[in-house]
Amino acid sequence: MIPFNDLRPLVTKYRAEIDAAVARVLDRGWFILGPEVDAFEAEFAAFHGSGQHAIAVANGTDAIELALRGAGIGPGDEVITTPMTAVPTVCAIERAGAIPVFADIDPLTCNISPAAIRASLTPRTRAVVPVHLYGRPADMPAILAIARPAGLLVLEDCAQAHGATLGGRVVGTFGDIAAFSFYPTKNLGAFGDGGAILTSDAAMADRIRRLRNYGQAKQYQHLERGINSRLDDIQTAILRVLLAHLPDHTAERRRIAGAYRSHLGNCCLPEPAADIGHVYHLFVLRHPQRDAMRKWMADHGVGSSVHYPLPVHLQPAYADLSYGHGSLPAAEAAAREVLSLPLSVGLSAADVETVCAAVASFPGGGSR
């Protein structure tokens, strides 16, 4: 069986470096907001270019919530985002006290549609949260052209797009602020939960540092109400190891994706011609008989997954937002058809050929 995602080769490859990093923390005896956190924040900021500030937090959901709170977004404010995302994006908007508003996707890329953002604007709109879905950058120039004249905060959800670029510029540096997840399956993943916020605004970075630690300016001096969202030194030590190897991992993901595209042709999710910045957190097909194809692949020893089978606006938990079936047709169509193939560091050429053979032999035929 070829699993959809196998993290063991990554652990094996870097075991000696990881063991040394963890031992360094254990020997030092400083486990929360210590030297490893400081070092990782500096390295992660530098990875995105000069003038950036990184704030490590407990997870990606907290990163979005704290980014919004740090920018002053709260109760009564509307925040536009995509329905084609993991629920944490929307959960974080609501935890900040804001109201999520869904804008439909571009059917070609599955990223949020700039035209749909424009159509969703109201006098209460305060922010836009584009998600760089599957590792493909959203159309940030078009989004900024809408957001800037309207005075809207732009918060990039980069949970699936560590190191992705658009026009040679790293995602997370286009908007006012960005949020990252280091969940283990991400392109840059910890061995537990983790997240980070990135911004070029030093004052906002300082405020978020307080908010992640109970609103403290210094010990026992609380300037505002915050939360407990601190990334520990063991996880940041591990992330420092893996951050150094991220460019190589991105190259490997692109190689695997290139092999899939070469073998599968029109089975691939349609992509714009200029695709060099995609980091392939996921490799996604679309097929009108997706569920049957997935079963066929499983019967032939190939794992897969679906990202995502039900867009957020149709999730039972969000029924009170009153969107309903048919309200966001492009997202709903994609959710019926998308299928993610195995793609992880260490996936062999033979594995890729096995996956492609299973897909190509599917008797349902014609893919999109």
Q: Among residues 280, 276, 226, 271, which one has the least CA distance to residue 250?
A: 280
Considering the domain boundaries, does residue 331 fall inside one? yes
Kindly state the tokens that stand for 41: 């924040």
Considering the domain boundaries, does residue 365 fall inside one? no
Average pLDDT, the chain: 95
Average pLDDT of the residues in 117-135: 98
If asked whether residues 165 and 211 sit together in one domain, one would say: yes
Residue 298 has pLDDT above 80, yes or no: yes
If asked whether residues 115 and 156 sit together in one domain, one would say: yes
If asked whether residues 70 and 195 sit together in one domain, one would say: yes
Q: What confidence tens digit (pLDDT) does each residue in 205-232 have?
A: 999 999 999 999 999 999 999 999 999 9
Q: What confidence tens digit (pLDDT) does each residue in 130-140 have?
A: 999 999 999 99
pLDDT-derived band at 265, boundaries 50, 70, 90: confident
Residue 50 has pLDDT above 60, yes or no: yes
If asked whether residues 198 and 263 sit together in one domain, one would say: no
For the chain, the domain total comes to 2
- Please tell me the predicted confidence (pLDDT) of residue 32: 97
pLDDT-derived band at 367, boundaries 50, 70, 90: low
Amino acid at 359: V
Counting residues of the chain whose pLDDT is more than 70, the rounded percentage is 96
Burial of 159 (0-12, 13-18, 19+ CB in 10 A): buried
Residue 270 has pLDDT above 70, yes or no: no
Residue 253 has pLDDT above 90, yes or no: yes
Burial of 168 (0-12, 13-18, 19+ CB in 10 A): exposed
If asked whether residues 235 and 89 sit together in one domain, one would say: yes
**How many Å apart are CA 124 and CA 105, to the nearest integer?**
21
Q: Tell me the CATH number at 33.
A: 3.40.640.10
If asked whether residues 268 and 207 sit together in one domain, one would say: no
Q: Which of the listed residues 239, 256, 290 is the one where a domain comes to its end?
A: 239
Its domain, for residue 25, covers 8-102+111-239
If asked whether residues 59 and 149 sit together in one domain, one would say: yes
Q: What confidence tens digit (pLDDT) does each residue in 87-108 have?
A: 999 999 999 999 999 999 999 9
If asked whether residues 53 and 85 sit together in one domain, one would say: yes
Q: Among residues 328, 265, 341, which one has the least CA distance to residue 110?
A: 328
Average pLDDT of the residues in 13-29: 98
Give pTM, 2 decimals. 0.97
Q: Which of the listed residues 239, 254, 278 is the one where a domain comes to its end?
A: 239
Q: Which of the listed residues 213, 239, 265 is the one where a domain comes to its end?
A: 239
Considering the domain boundaries, does residue 162 fall inside one? yes
Strand partners, 80: 101, 128
Residue 273 has pLDDT above 70, yes or no: no
Burial of 265 (0-12, 13-18, 19+ CB in 10 A): exposed
Average pLDDT of the residues in 305-317: 98
- Please tell me the predicted confidence (pLDDT) of residue 364: 79
The structure tokens 């691939």 sit at: 268
**How many Å apart are CA 217 and CA 148, to the nearest integer?**
31
Please state the length of the chain.
368
DSSP character at residue 360:
H
If asked whether residues 271 and 184 sit together in one domain, one would say: no
If asked whether residues 140 and 174 sit together in one domain, one would say: yes
Q: What is the DSSP string of 318-338?
A: GGGG---TTSSHHHHHHHHHE
If asked whether residues 167 and 232 sit together in one domain, one would say: yes
DSSP strand pairing (165-166 vs 221-222): unpaired
Q: Tell me the CATH number at 294.
A: 3.90.1150.10
